């Protein structure tokens, strides 16, 4: 019998309230996007609150997520087997709200077969979409020390990145490719002699490899840029991030597009028009963190698309 891996959606009601609260919520046949379906927590609540003529389009790369989506028998709902970097393929100004719940779902972490966890033995995979692309094990089989160091340093913010990379390559040269999560975790633990209390030495390295192998930060940047194209005036952008690298990208994107920017090199040129109004920054409450400790690092940022129809409202 298969283990029923479960997932508790973070900031569930807060995210859906923010998403559906835009100026276009009452427009005819609005279209919303859940760009990270996961196990469908946000999508199900969105559907329970949508009008009969509204639509919800979901995206997800994970085939397990697609199987979960297949249990939703609602003609207003559809899902695409794509990452959210494909958001820009939707028609311009066609969407009333976009939700991005970043990171990984609990079933992905808890199921050792997915290779995301350093706590239980499994294949060293970490791909969100197991039908395509290179696994972490495959990448590590011939990656050079400098490349591994750069990934661990940049995506894991790990100060022992160089030492870990050298240990990985030395182990590979001595005993062959690293193929399991526990093998990698042992190498890191033997290399990193100090770590924050209560934090596994392998945490940052596993995060780095997962982000790299799935091109998560690049995909996030593409999706944020696409939101400018697909959101209607008054439409909402809601992003939940779980670590500083993601949140920094979201924060900087919104800061850039929520003010007028003047080009000093062209003082008489028109400024870049403000395209978003930042509405909120939300953290889980104490009760949610107590019930779901994985929510403790979550930050939700909410912004509203500004266009010709909404500039006067926000003047």
Sequence spans of domains, the chain: 12-106+216-305, 131-213
Closest of 32, 129, 117 to residue 77, by C-alpha: 32
Query: How much is the pLDDT for 273?
Result: 74
Query: How much is the pLDDT for 197?
Result: 74
Query: How much is the pLDDT for 108?
Result: 76
DSSP state letter for 180: B
Closest of 198, 167, 159, 196 to residue 184, by C-alpha: 167
CA dist 132 to 61, 135, 162, Å? 10, 9, 29
- Three-state DSSP class for 236? strand
Query: How much is the pLDDT for 261?
Result: 55
Superfamily of domain 12-106+216-305: Vaccinia Virus protein VP39 (3.40.50.150)
Query: How much is the pLDDT for 289?
Result: 92
Query: How much is the pLDDT for 311?
Result: 42
Query: How much is the pLDDT for 200?
Result: 87
> Are the CB atoms for 101 and 1 separated by under 8 Å?
no
pLDDT means per 10 residues, the chain with 315 residues, are 62 96 71 95 96 96 93 97 95 97 78 82 93 96 97 96 98 95 95 80 94 96 97 97 96 90 57 85 95 91 80 43
Query: How much is the pLDDT for 264?
Result: 59
Query: How much is the pLDDT for 3?
Result: 46
Closest of 112, 17, 18, 95 to residue 59, by C-alpha: 95
Structure token pair of residue 130: 């197991």
Superfamily of domain 131-213: Putative methyltransferase TM0872, insert domain (1.10.150.170)
Q: What is the rounded distance in angstroms from the CA atom of residue 187 to the CA atom of residue 171?
A: 8
């Amino acid at each position: 019998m298969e283990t029923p891996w479960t997932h508790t959606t973070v900031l569930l009601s807060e995210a859906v309230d923010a998403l559906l609260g835009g100026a276009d919520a009452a427009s005819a046949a609005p279209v919303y996007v859940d760009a990270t379906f996961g196990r469908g927590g946000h999508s199900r609540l969105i559907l329970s609150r949508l009008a009969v003529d509204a639509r919800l389009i979901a995206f997800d790369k994970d085939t397990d997520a697609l199987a979960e989506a297949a249990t939703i028998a609602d003609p207003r709902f559809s899902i695409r087997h794509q990452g959210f970097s494909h958001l820009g393929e939707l028609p311009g100004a066609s969407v009333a709200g976009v939700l991005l719940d970043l990171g990984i779902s609990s079933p992905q972490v808890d199921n050792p077969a997915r290779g995301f966890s350093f706590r239980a033995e499994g294949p060293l995979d970490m791909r969100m979409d197991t039908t395509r692309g290179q696994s972490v094990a495959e990448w590590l089989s011939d990656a050079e020390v400098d490349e591994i160091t750069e990934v661990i340093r940049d995506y894991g913010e790990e100060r022992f990145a160089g030492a870990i990379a050298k240990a990985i390559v030395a182990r590979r040269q001595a005993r062959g490719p690293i193929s399991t999560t526990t093998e990698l975790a042992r190498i890191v633990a033997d290399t990193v002699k100090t770590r924050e209390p209560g934090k596994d030495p392998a945490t940052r390295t596993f995060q780095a490899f997962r982000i790299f192998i799935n091109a998560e930060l690049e995909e996030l940047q593409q999706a944020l840029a696409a939101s400018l194209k697909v959101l209607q005036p008054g439409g909402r952008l809601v992003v939940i991030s779980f670590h500083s690298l993601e949140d920094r990208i979201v924060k900087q994107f919104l800061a850039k597009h929520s003010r007028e920017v003047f080009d000093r090199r062209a003082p008489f040129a028109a400024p870049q028009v403000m395209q978003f109004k930042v509405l909120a920054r939300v953290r889980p409450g104490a009760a949610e963190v107590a019930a779901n400790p994985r929510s403790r690092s979550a930050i939700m940022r909410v912004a509203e698309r500004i266009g010709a129809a909404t500039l006067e409202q926000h003047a």
